[in-house]
């Protein structure tokens, strides 16, 4: 399993997520993980995905490791 940094810049108002670290098998799977609702995140075609490393065996697939929320 891999760790990816997912981020978006199209939905940057208050009470939105701008990024998260997720555990997924592929970039495409990571792009589909949302740390919040579509109102607080972005559609998958607007999500940037960067590989950052290999996950520990105990981290579940398609899980959010941490996220960045911009509260208002």
State both tokens at 4: 């990816």
Strands 16-24, 2-7: pairing kind:
antiparallel
Residue entry with tokens 């199209």: 10
pLDDT tens, residue by residue, 10-62:
999 999 999 999 999 999 999 999 999 988 999 999 999 999 999 999 999 99
pLDDT the model gives residue 18: 97
**What pTM did the predictor assign?**
0.95
pLDDT the model gives residue 29: 98
pLDDT the model gives residue 59: 96
Do the Cβ atoms of 11 and 41 come closer than 8 Å? yes
Residues composing the chain: 72
From 14, 58, 17, 60, select the one nearest 6 (Cα to Cα): 17
* Measured distance CA(27)–CA(3) in Å, rounded: 9
């Amino acid at each position: 399993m891999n760790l990816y940094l997912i981020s978006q810049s199209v939905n940057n108002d208050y009470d939105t997520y701008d990024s998260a670290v997720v555990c997924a098998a592929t970039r495409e799977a990571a792009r589909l993980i949302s740390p919040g609702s579509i109102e607080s995140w972005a559609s998958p075609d607007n999500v940037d995905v960067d590989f950052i490393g290999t996950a520990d065996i105990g981290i579940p697939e398609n899980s959010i490791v941490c996220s960045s929320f911009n509260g208002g």
